[in-house]
Amino acid sequence: MPGTGDDAAQLRVLLVEDCEEDAELLRHELGRSEYAAELVRVETIDGIRTELARCPYDLVISDYTLPEFDARDALRVLQESGHDDIPFIVLSGSISQERLIEILRMGAHGVVLKRDLILLVPVVDRELRAARHRRERLLAEEALRASELRYRELFENANDVIFTIDLDGRFQSLNRAAACLLGYTREEAIARRLTDIVAPDGAEALRARLSARGGEPAQTTFEAMLIGKGGRRIPLEIGWRPIVRDGAVVAFEAIARDLTERRRLEDQLRQAQKMEAVGRLAGGIAHDFNNLLMAVTGYSELLLDRTTPTDPQHRGLEEIRKAASRAAALTRQLLMFSRKHVLEPVVLDVNAVVADLERMLRRLIGEDVELTTSLMAGSAFVKADRGQLEQILMNLVVNARDAMPEGGRLRIATGAVTAGGADQARFPGVAPGEYVVIEVQDTGTGMDTATLSHVFEPFFTTKEPGKGTGLGLSTVYGIVAQAGGSVLVDSEVGRGTQFRVLWPRSAEAARPAADRAHRPTLPLGTEHVLLVEDENGVRELIRDFLARCGYTVIEAGSAPEALELFSRNGRRADVLITDVIMPQMNGRALAERLLAQQPSLKVLYISGYTDDSGVEQSLHAGAGFLQKPFTPDVLARKIREVLDAG
């Protein structure tokens, strides 16, 4: 701190002295030191207060005895001013042992006798160094307190679980997140051991870690299942580190993260992967099955056309056709499940859809659930894809069944409502208009308000793991919303649930089913058809039927064969009928190759199912599409529609 010349340390000294001669002696003595001292002399208590308030001082030197007070009073003023960290040195001509001890106990930092004034500079130097050390220590302590406060705030407010335990597994500390996760108060948690709240199947492994005494790596990560208050199981990922003092492990500290949400997402991913695999399997089965049904349906139709109702074989052929139709409905359900179903919105009678599904739904819900239907008088026409409408009913019925594990009553009803105007309060959030209502009501467990607020969210489910994907109601909501409709739900715990699907009503009427006895004449043609189908039975059926209708058919069992025949035939064809999914080259790629050579070529796709081969995009470009299985008369009309378009 001391310096020489221009580098001399600046020193502001407040001198409490009533004698000017003594003040000069003191000024002279400090002048001999390496300090550049600036002395301000005061003689009264008020003067001391004024100077201490006016500016900071590095040192206070006070004569012990003054006319109206003494050094003890000056020291009290210094301490009351809040500047008790400033060194306070007492000067005295003579001082008794008792007074010396008293003022030192009061907080004075040094005493110098006037006859030993030569000792003043060393005492000043010593006390200034001590004051500097005190300030540095105070700053360090303040920094330590601030650091501890930051650590405590980080420790307490962290989302992750943080705790320390001793070698017996007793908690030494744990943060708020740990106590909240376990469901205990901090006091309840501290009173427990980690080994007491770990799941039994993991307790032995944890005790082994505690007894390792540093035998494992300095830091490791492992998973453990803890049992919280009330028996709740909490999966944790724990980062674990031994605390070592003097070469020995004395405790362990850990940061842990709740894996519940991660496990839930992993379960959802596994479920989605499983559903995707099942969907691919279902789509493949439906594809092959539809090819078989094409032959059954097609040939039964052709044979029926050659018989009359009085023919002994007519009834058997009719039953074959009906069975094939029901089988086609089943494959359509599989395609809906696997999401490989091309949407075909048509005008449908909802009453007829419910009636057709009723037998299947009864088998689905089981014998302990009583199913009743109440269909509105007249017809309930909507424009929808039949598969999607059936999927909505299936999802709602399955949910209702699962809500009645002990059995109950399930009611499916249809009706018509008008939203808007005076009735708007009955249909909150529903756009004004005419709607057909499909109502599914059960007497099951019901839902509380919190559950209702999430009921349409993807992956939200109240079912046990493995018994639900959480996608059923979100799928229902998405289908209905896309059609411009709404789904309303009312539920009460213990009193069941009611879902109401409001689907925009169609002004058109559904096309009546063709009466075999009064079927219109099939449209004929003379155009050239390039038929590409890898399933021999299906290809032969279509070839024979088209030939009977007057078309010239060039057939191929694969796309490369079709390209060769097209080139060999002088690129002459009016329409391409091609399966979508074929080995070597799919129907979309084949159509693009042929259209590049003959832009006027018309295209009709046929398929047992579709994947990402772009059929729907091609439909927008003017191509036609038929979902297998289809009947010969449907094919005759569709090919004529494609040829005559544009």
pLDDT digits (tens, 9 = 90+) for 148-162: 778 777 777 777 888
Torsion, Cα 422 425 431 435, to 10 degrees, reads -80
> Which residue numbers in the chain have pLDDT < 70?
1-8, 212-218, 268, 271-272, 274-288, 326-344, 421-425, 453-454, 457-472, 510-521, 571, 609-621, 646
Calpha distance 247→454 (Å, rounded): 55
Distances (CA, A) of 575 to 220, 270, 531, 565, 601: 69, 45, 9, 14, 6
Q: How many CB atoms lie within 10 A of CB 84?
A: 12
Map tokens 């599914």 to a residue: 440
The H or E element spanning position 445 is: none
Two structure tokens written together for 478 = 């998405």
Instruction: Write b or e for each residue in 560-593: b if 16 or more Cβ atoms lie within 10 A of its Cβ, otherwise e.
Output: eebbeebeeeeeebbbbbbbbbbeebbbbebbee
What's the confidence (pLDDT) of residue 72? 93
For residue 87, the model assigns a pLDDT of 92
Q: What is the DSSP string of 471-482?
A: -HHHHHHHHHHH
Q: Tokens representing 302?
A: 């052709």
The dihedral through the CA atoms of 282, 543, 583, 612 has a sign that is: negative
What is the distance between the alpha carbons of residues 72 and 79, in angstroms, rounded to a whole number? Answer: 11
- Measured in whole angstroms, the distance separating CA 444 from the mean position of its chain's CA atoms is 29
Report pLDDT for 479.
77
Beta bridge partners, 532, equal: 556, 578
Count of CB atoms within 10 A of residue 77's CB?
19
- DSSP-based helix, strand, coil % in the chain, nearest 5: 45, 25, 30
For residues 89 and 69, what is the distance between their CA atoms, to the nearest angstrom?
Answer: 16
Q: Is 642 exposed, middle or buried (0-12, 13-18, 19+ CB in 10 A)?
A: buried
How would you classify residue 413: left for phi > 0, otherwise alpha for psi between -120 and 50, otherwise beta? beta
Residue given tokens 């009719």 in the structure block: 318
Using an 8 Å Cβ cutoff, are 129 and 108 in contact?
no
370 Cβ partners below 8 Å, 6+ apart?
A: 407, 408, 409, 410
pLDDT given at position 467:
47
Q: What is the pLDDT of residue 4?
A: 40
* Strand 496-504 to 486-492 pairing: antiparallel
pLDDT of residue 482: 75
Euclidean distance between CA atoms 121 and 259, whole angstroms: 69
Which domains, ranges and CATH numbers included, belong to the chain?
5-137 (3.40.50.2300), 158-258 (3.30.450.20), 343-519 (3.30.565.10), 521-644 (3.40.50.2300)
184-206 pLDDT per residue, tens: 887 887 888 887 788 887 777 77
Strand partners, 256: 161, 238
For residue 641 the two structure tokens come to: 């529609």
What would the two tokens of residue 282 be? 């279902």
Q: Is the pTM of this model over 0.75?
A: no
pLDDT of the residue at 469: 47
